[in-house]
Structure 1
Amino acid sequence: MLCVRCSTRVCYVVVQCFKMTSPYFLQSHSIITRSGNQNAGCTPEASLGSKLTNRRRKVDTVSSVTVKVEEEEARVSEQNRPTLDHSSAGSCHGALPHCTAHPKAETDPALPLSLQGRRRRQLKVEYEENKDVKALKKEHWEPPDWKRQLGYIREMRSARNAPVDNMGAEKCYDTQASAHVRRFQVLVSLMLSSQTRDQVTAAAMQKLRAHGCTVANLLATDDQKLGELIYPVGFWRTKVKFLKRTSAMLQEEYGGDIPDSVEGLVRLPGVGPKMAHLAMDIAWDKVSGIGVDTHVHRISNRLGWLKTLTKNPEETRKALEEWLPRELWSEINWLLVGFGQQVCLPVNPLCSVCLNQHSCPSAHKNSPTKRPKAGHPRSTCPSSSSKAKTEPEQESSVKDERTKVEPWQTTVSPSTQRRRPKKQS
């Protein structure tokens, strides 16, 4: 039996050979197909044998409609049969019944609709996304113990008696002034606070408010008088120029008010990203980012709140904003600033009184070891060279401690007094 498969319907071709062993019959061959065609290969001498064979193998008559359909199917199977080249003919020779012909991609308009619908449709190949890579993209990094550390900082800052709580930018503007004047005074206090203690900034803002801290008044004040008002803030000569140029830009472009976007604020002379984000939070009541100054930058690196150590406050701001919840962006600045002013000091931090001393990776590492007093059994007599090295350090530590105890008392050296701006006669 020979079986040929096609894409539409399986057609069977039955080949039967009968060999009569009786001497009265000769050899006869008959081919019977479902299409109704009979091709007899009988010789003229074997008429009696062919008659007997035809009597035994009577084929039912098939209607003309069925014959036409099957003829179309046979023609389609012949068209869809793949053409084998010489290289593949040898491999497929002898296994033709098991070869499956692939249908054509295009549709033959000459075929009936019933046959066109029976063709195999093209498969749509879809690639699954790599779940491992997708999970890595969504991985949210955060410090392991930051929530407990933040809770301890809140507990240590519950008294709110740090300089930033009483003399920060939120306390330096005139509450009785109009809205645009208050916003301008917030911006001026932030500009003066750079490289300056909050106590000095608050004193300078008090003198500016008494003089009239508005855009028009600052433009009408000469540089000499403005320098006397803001002295002794850090880099007061440069800040006088910044205040004048910023006031001119605000008058021309914003009608005396300050911009309501970070992009507009950083365009002003002397205004950086930290000042811009704080101004948006305090003046406009909009949280646009974390205001990172030297205290936030230092403490975030000490606590291990960053994946890698950062080199400047701007890098620290971007690293913190990647994992810190947005609802904490406004609170984190004044929390860490006051914590840095009271406990986590730049030099000689008070790790012994800090509640995070057991979880902070930098605890007891930044503070120098205390030497035993003179006459103690464990004390040793240092050499002259060691005395020369330790005495300046002790003097600097004493100065730092004096500054911590009385930070509001600022001393002015004689050389600094000579650089004081001259008062107008």
Structure 2
Amino acid sequence: MAAVCCSTRVCGVLPCFRMTSPYFSQSRSVVSRSGAHTGGRRSAASLGSRLSRRRRNVDPVSSVEVKVEVEEARISEPGPSSAPLSAVRCHEPLQQTSVQPKTETDTLPLSSHGRRRRQLKVEYDEDEGVSLVKTEHWEPPDWKKQLGFIREMRSGRDAPVDNMGAEKCYDTDAPAHVRRFQVLVSLMLSSQTKDQVTAAAMQKLRAHGCTVENILSTDDEKLGKLIHPVGFWRTKVKYVKLTSAMLQEEFGGDIPNSVEGLVRLPGVGPKMAHLAMDIAWDQVSGIGVDTHVHRISNRLGWLRKPTKNPEATRKALEEWLPRELWSEINWLLVGFGQQVCLPINPLCSVCLNQHSCPSAHKNSPTKRPKAGSPHSASPKSPFKTKTEPELECAFKDERTKTEPLSSPVSSTTQRRRLKAKLNH
């Protein structure tokens, strides 16, 4: 009797715990594991399969959207007093929307109350093509003052380069292409040769006919006699002939109008190419650096580091010297080196830069080969050079029989004349 009462009580309690969720709703028939159809609530196997199918049908994008919205709500909270937005959004129906990419405002750091700050990502625009790394502009400390003094000392324009340089060696009445060719030939002959010797050789060549056609029709012996006083005249005869043939074949008897084309010619180096562009074509393509410009630039400290050859000096000068001075600096320093800043025994006592020049009042002894070396001096030829470099890439203090060494008497006389000129 008691058992019947207990059963009656259980049956009366069960309807109170009836599940209203669709997952636990009753169905008319359920297929059991044995295959029989039974009524009542769903079995565990049927419920699990329905749950798995329901999970597969849920759109993954919607779940991601919920997470993104919750995250944005947490970031945009003004303070701890405001109600969390995540609790409200969890009860909203899921909608299939596209996830918006983060913008620049998402990367801003959180404002206050100890929230963790996000790291800022700094990006640079690469469309401009300009490097963001700033290079320090270097220039000598007193170069403007020194340049002004050199201009004052060169105001007379009476140095050999002013009267017998490449600008004075061509025929002004000749056609334009012939004048340009004569400028190039005078530059080729001037390599390691004084301007007086170059001017005399060009005068004889012009009288003979300094054109591409005449040079090619002249034999090497005759051409050697015309330019004989210049240094390395045999090698220069070969270079002039090869260059003339190349100009006639590729450029119609004219010279190239670019540095790249000029340096392709036999015996033409960077210094000659830049000077030819300036004199013949009236175009400033670079600084023409010879032994004088190379020597004086190193003496004045116009280079960040000392250089060993004229080409390195040219690159170092072009890094800081204003472009409007590139054409002037050559003849200015060449004449200054011919009159004051001599290769040996420079006239520092009369130089206006003697108080600012780091090399002032320092001797410049002649570089002589070591005893016993293959290039050691012989009694008949104190300076013996076997071959000539094709390009002017090294500083050489070349002297020939036609270019004797300056004696102490001549240096003293020149110093007195320069002092008298500066005093006036």
**Match of residue 210 from structure 1:** 207
Per-residue deviation, 1:404: 9.3
1:91-121 deviations in whole A, cap 9, x for unaligned?
xxxxxx99997xxxxxx993479xx88x975
Match of 1:80 in 2: 67
Provide the aligned C-alpha RMSD in A.
3.5
What do the CA deviations read for 1:350-389 (whole angstroms, capped 9, x no partner)? 0000000000000011268xxxxxxxxxxxxxxxxxxxxx
Q: State yes or no: 1:127 paired with 2:127.
A: no
| Cα deviation digits, residues 244-289 of structure 1 (max 9, x gap) | 0000000000000000000000000000000000000000000000
Matched, 1:243 2:251: no
| Structure-1 separation of matches of 2:180 and 2:329 | 22
**How far apart, CA to CA, are the structure 1 residues paired with 2:122 and 2:266?**
53
1:139 Cα offset (Å): 1.9
> Residues 82-101 of structure 1 correspond to what in structure 2 (within 5 A)?
none
Q: Are positions 1:155 and 2:152 aligned together?
A: yes
- 1:348, distance to aligned residue in structure 2 (A): 0.2
Could you say what secondary structure the match of 2:182 adopts?
helix
Deviations 1:20-64 (CA, angstroms, capped at 9, x unpaired) = xxxxxxxxxxxxxxxxxxxxxxxxxxxxxxxxxxxxxxxxxxxxx
Q: How does 1:13-412 map to 2 (within 5 A)?
A: 79-80=66-67, 110-111=95-96, 123=106, 126-127=121-122, 137-366=134-363, 399=407, 402=410
The whole-number CA distance in structure 2 between the counterparts of 1:326 and 1:202 is 29
Cα distance 1:351–1:100, how it changes in 2: closer, same or farther (>3 A)?
farther
User: 1:215: how far off?
Assistant: 0.1
Out of 397-406 and 146-155, give the one that drifted further.
397-406
**Pair 227,397 (structure 1): closer, same or farther in 2 beyond 3 Å:** closer
Unaligned runs of 5+ in 2: 1-61, 71-81, 87-92, 108-119, 125-130, 366-381, 383-403, 415-424
Cα distance, 1:271–1:111 mapped onto 2, change above 3 Å = same
1:306 Cα offset (Å):
0.3
In structure 2, relative to structure 1, the CA distance for the partners of 1:363 and 1:236 (3 Å cut) is same
* Alpha-carbon separation, structure 2, partners of 1:280 and 1:168: 15
How far is 1:202 from its partner? Answer: 0.1
Q: Deviations over 1:143-200 (max 9, x none)?
A: 0010000000000000000000000000000000000000000000000000100000
Name the CA distance, whole Å, in 2 between partners of 1:149 and 1:230. 38
Tell me the number of residue pairs that the alignment of Structure 1 and Structure 2 aligns: 283
SS of 2:261's equivalent in the other structure is: helix
Runs of 4+ in 1 over 4 A off after TM superposition: 75-79, 97-101, 119-122, 400-406
- Whole-angstrom distance in 2 between the partners of 1:204 and 1:400: 29
Q: 1:335 to 1:320 in 2, by over 3 A?
A: same
Inter-CA distance 367–225: structure 2 relative to 1 (3 Å threshold):
closer
Percent of paired sites with the same residue: 75
CA distance in 2, matches of 1:181, 1:354: 40
Residue 401 of structure 1, CA deviation: 5.2
Question: How far apart are the structure 2 equivalents of 1:81 and 1:232?
Answer: 90
Give 1:46's aligned residue. Answer: none
Gaps of 5+ in 1: 1-74, 84-96, 102-107, 369-391, 407-425
Separation in 2 of the partners of 1:276 and 1:401? 38
